[in-house]
Amino acid sequence: MDINAQLRSEIQKALQYLFGTSTDDIQLQPTRPEFEGSHTLVCFPLTRISKKSPEQTAQLIGEYLISHTSQVKSYQTIKGFLNLTLSDNFWVGVLNEIHAKPGYGTFPSNGKEIMVEYSSPNTNKPLHLGHLRNNFLGWSVSEILKANGYRVHRVQIINDRGIHICKSMAAWKLYGNGETPESSGMKGDHLVGKYYVEFDRQHKKEIRDLMMQGLSQEEAERQSPIMQLAVDMLRRWEAKDEEILSLWRMMNSWVYEGFNATYRRMGVEFDKLYYESDTYLLGREEVLKGLERGVFFKKEDGSVWVDLTAEGLDQKVLLRSDGTSVYITQDIGTAILRFRDFPNIEGQIYTVGNEQEYHFKVLFLILDKLGYAWARKCYHLSYGMVDLPTGKMKSREGTVVDADDLMEDMVRDAETLTRELGKIEGLSDDEAKELFEMIGLGALKFFLLKVDPKKRMLFDPQESIQLQGFTGPFIQYTHARIRALLRKAKQEGVMSQSASIENPAQLEPAERQVVIVLSRYEEKVREAATVYSPAILANYAFELAREYNQFYQTVPVLTEPDRSRLQFRLALSAATARVIRHAMSLLGIGVPERM
């Protein structure tokens, strides 16, 4: 259903009738809350056709629509804006369409494929709060694209090689005493992260000692024994030394097992995993081919560079003087490999923090220079960092907010709040546990997704868990309230089984407003996919829940004696619950049947 399209068609007829010509430049927008109506026509651009003032243009179009269309009940002109109030019969018809469309908010296949990358962690530490925003964002964007008819391939690149990995390995070798996840009782990713922090602690201590012996800080950092061990491990890894490779495989396996447990609780998964240790060599080969073709150039020390000054950027090193790869080399190889694996994809969406914006500009330009036309279909879904009241997180210093700990805390807070409010009456222990998990993780996901991805945000756990306000639990509670109402209606035998909704004589303003919001859902699903922003659906779900609660508090439902009004309100409630459930599912959030 596209009400805007219907109105545009009628407005084009009006323009042709009134002024002898028409235009596709018809700007419709939702009417502001302080005015009457649901749709507003912006008349300023139409004055070139009407040759009249914006106010006169609005007046003439409004009079035409009243006389010639059944949809428009009344109008109001505010300067150059024409606010349209549509008839109650029209809105009843809209609800009938929604009621009769089980897949409302989901579009048929468009025959297109797209790839979404998210998570992409390093294997030297557990996932943290920033990874939660990344994963929830990538998963939700994938779900939104699927709802819009795309076939989506979810992937991640696991950064499993490099000096940062060797730092954890070196610290474990020196101080681990053979400790394993089994012997320590720790998740594998937490254990490896423990030794990454230990490396930093020991490295700083050695730097201080060497500086007291007269070395400069730069020299001390380089000559630190633990750093030399990590560098030696990296060299031996690249030389395929079996002893180092064996240690690397063992510690990475611990991390993967830990990651998988975290992903399961997050509710995210992947269709294919890529590993930096597999893709960096392909990237190196592509760079050498580009060098032969003159796309890149070599400096006197033997390093290979790309010159992007003509594009307003600078020169970027692609291979060091010793022939080893840099970070972007791996990304070149990964992008090419993905298009080989999935040749039909429309493009790749990289869900990565905004501190990497320059990196992706460079990457896409390099791929374009190498002759890959699909490089222009790659998109960096840049998102802002997540701050805490306590300040910025630093992994190497062990001051991050661990993803596992935060999820556990949120579920525990959800349990405390739910028990205090007495919302678990009649639930078994298993059902209550499932409810706490749904509320706690729903609160976390909603809070991290309700902000536009591009914006930096402050995460407040206590605010996120509240049952009132712009929160996930508020929307979950609204859904549970509706489901309880519908169960009671069924028990009392007043729920109609008819495929169509009876037409009440007149709608209450609160009823009409809920239908208006419901009618905009598919438009919001489209918009969210166009700009890759789950925040649009989070805001929509909150608006719908808020309007329904206003309706619920001001209009009787089960006590309504008029049958047509009763059935309309039950159908309105059922449609609202269905849309809330669907919108929240696109955010990766479950909604309870009872609460």
Q: Is the pLDDT of residue 392 over 60?
A: no
Dist CA 382 CA 350 (whole Å): 8
Q: What is the pLDDT of residue 494?
A: 86
Given a contact cutoff of 8 angstroms between Cβ atoms, the answer to whether 379 and 146 are in contact is: no
**Strand 39-42 relative to strand 297-298: parallel, antiparallel, unpaired?**
unpaired
How large is the average pLDDT for residues 171-197?
97
Q: Which residue has the tokens 């439902």?
A: 557
Q: What is the pLDDT of residue 399?
A: 54
* Closest residue by Cα to residue 237 from 158, 303, 325, 318: 325
Q: Is 300 exposed, middle or buried (0-12, 13-18, 19+ CB in 10 A)?
A: exposed
Q: What is the per-residue pLDDT across 233-266, written as a single tens digit (0 to 9) for each?
A: 999 998 999 999 999 999 999 999 999 999 999 9
Q: What is the pLDDT of residue 390?
A: 63
Q: Is the pLDDT of residue 186 over 80?
A: yes
Task: Kindly give, in sequence order, each residue whose CB lies less than 8 Å from that of residue 556, ignoring residues fewer than 6 positions away.
Answer: none
Q: What is the per-residue pLDDT across 532-562, written as a single tens digit (0 to 9) for each?
A: 999 999 999 999 999 999 999 999 999 999 9
Dist CA 415 CA 460 (whole Å): 18
Q: What is the pLDDT of residue 67?
A: 94
Q: Which residue has the tokens 């960092």?
A: 385
**Chain mean position to CA 409:** 22
DSSP conformation letters of 308-330: -GGGTS-EEEEE-TTS-B-HHHH
Dist CA 582 CA 537 (whole Å): 10
Q: Is 29 exposed, middle or buried (0-12, 13-18, 19+ CB in 10 A)?
A: exposed
Q: Is the pLDDT of residue 353 over 50?
A: yes
Q: Is 576 exposed, middle or buried (0-12, 13-18, 19+ CB in 10 A)?
A: buried
- Alpha helices by DSSP H, listed for 351-471, are 357-369, 403-420, 429-449, 461-464
Strand partners, 381: 351
How large is the average pLDDT for residues 128-136?
95
117 backbone dihedrals φ, ψ, rounded to 5°: -100, 135
Dist CA 566 CA 495 (whole Å): 9
CA distances from 274 to 99, 234, 290, 331 (A): 43, 20, 23, 11
Structural domains in the chain plus CATH codes: 3-86 (3.30.1360.70), 163-270 (no CATH), 403-586 (1.10.730.10)
Residue environment code for 269-280, b if the CB has 16+ CB neighbours within 10 A, otherwise e: ebeeebbbbbbb
Structure tokens at 582: 């669907």
5 backbone dihedrals φ, ψ, rounded to 5°: -65, -40
Against a cut of 0.75, is the pTM above it?
yes
Q: Is the pLDDT of residue 284 over 70?
A: yes
Dist CA 258 CA 457 (whole Å): 27
Query: Is the dihedral angle over the CA atoms 400, 406, 408, 413 positive or is it negative?
Result: positive
* Closest residue by Cα to residue 539 from 528, 553, 550, 551: 528
Q: What is the pLDDT of residue 462?
A: 86
CA distances from 369 to 120, 241, 302, 345, 374 (A): 25, 36, 21, 20, 11
* Closest residue by Cα to residue 329 from 270, 299, 370: 370
Q: What is the per-residue pLDDT across 134-181, written as a single tens digit (0 to 9) for each?
A: 999 999 999 999 999 999 999 999 999 889 999 999 999 999 999 999
Q: Is the pLDDT of residue 220 over 90?
A: yes
Which band of pLDDT confidence, cut at 50, 70 and 90, is reported for residue 459? confident
Q: What is the pLDDT of residue 395?
A: 41
How large is the average pLDDT for residues 575-579?
97
319 backbone dihedrals φ, ψ, rounded to 5°: -135, 135
* Number of residues in the chain: 595
Q: Mean pLDDT, the chain, as a whole number?
A: 93
Dist CA 524 CA 120 (whole Å): 29
Sheet with strand 297-298: strands edge to edge = 297-298, 304-307, 315-319
Amino acid type, 89:
N
Q: What is the pLDDT of residue 499?
A: 62
Query: Of residues 201 and 499, which shows the higher confidence score?
Result: 201
Q: What is the per-residue pLDDT across 478-515, written as a single tens digit (0 to 9) for each?
A: 999 999 999 999 999 888 776 667 777 789 999 999 99
Query: Of residues 320 and 446, which shows the higher confidence score?
Result: 446
How large is the average pLDDT for residues 212-220?
94
Q: What is the pLDDT of residue 393?
A: 41
The percent of residues in the chain predicted with pLDDT above 90, rounded, is: 85
29 backbone dihedrals φ, ψ, rounded to 5°: -145, 160
* Closest residue by Cα to residue 170 from 227, 128, 250: 227
Q: What is the pLDDT of residue 397?
A: 44
Given a contact cutoff of 8 angstroms between Cβ atoms, the answer to whether 226 and 426 are in contact is: no
Residue environment code for 39-52, b if the CB has 16+ CB neighbours within 10 A, otherwise e: bbbbbeebeebbeb
Q: What is the per-residue pLDDT across 233-242, written as a single tens digit (0 to 9) for each?
A: 999 998 999 9
Q: What is the per-residue pLDDT across 46-80, written as a single tens digit (0 to 9) for each?
A: 999 999 999 999 999 999 999 999 999 999 999 89
Q: What is the pLDDT of residue 401?
A: 84
Structure tokens at 109: 């296949």
Residue environment code for 203-225, b if the CB has 16+ CB neighbours within 10 A, otherwise e: beebbeebeeeebeeeebbeebe
Q: What is the pLDDT of residue 461?
A: 85
